[in-house]
Structure 1
Amino acid sequence: MTETTPTTTKKTLAVVSIILGAVSILLCWILPILWVVVAIVGVVLGFLSRSREPQARRLALVGIILSFIGIALNIGSMILGAILVAQYMQR
């Protein structure tokens, strides 16, 4: 008799990428330097997922997009913080 193993669909990297991207967006105004690093990790995991988990390509794409948005928002938050500090120091 031959044994057949059920096919499992792994989507772990893609789901973690989505979670990291969403968290970096939600918390971009608190410690943006930390969350930009989290978003970069989300991008890396998203691209790894696209190559290692072919059944999760759409989820990986969502994670990559969310992480790039998180990077942009965190950088914008850092710039806004620098502008506000510069204006405060001029007083």
Structure 2
Amino acid sequence: MGTIMTNAAPAPGATAAAPVKTLAILSLVFGIVSIVLALFFPIGGVALGVAAIVLGFMSRKREAARSMALTGIILGFVGVAGSIVSWIVAAAMISQMMN
């Protein structure tokens, strides 16, 4: 029977585990979804846009994935702005139909 090594070093050429980028990934995904929701469901677009912004700023402080977090922040702001524009367009259309 062979011996079991419990504290073995990594094999040569093996890379270390990648740093966790959970907040940055969530910020990016929420930012993308907020833009899509801005067109069809503005309240959801604002909610996910704000979540993307908050998670992006949290990620920039805690994680190494700064560019992904920045992209999530930017997309979150675009999603919130798109939702506001969507509300304005919907209000203008309703106003035109009333006249």
The TM-score with structure 2 as length reference comes to 0.80
**What's 1:52 paired with?**
62
Stretches of structure 2 that go unaligned for 5 or more consecutive residues are 1-6, 10-15
**What's 1:85 paired with?**
94
Q: CA RMSD in A?
A: 1.9
Aligned-residue sequence identity (percent) comes to 44
State the structure with more CA Rg: 2
Superposed structure 1 runs of 4+ greater than 3 Å apart: none
Q: Does 1:73 align with 2:82?
A: yes
Which deviations, in whole Å up to 9, do the C-alpha atoms of 1:49-83 show, x marking residues without a partner? 00011x11111001001111111111100110011
Q: Quick check: which one's helix share is greater?
A: 1
Between 1 and 2, higher relative CO (CA 8 Å, sep ≥ 6) is seen in: 1
More off after superposition, 27-36 vs 70-79 = 27-36
The number of residue pairs the alignment matches comes to 88
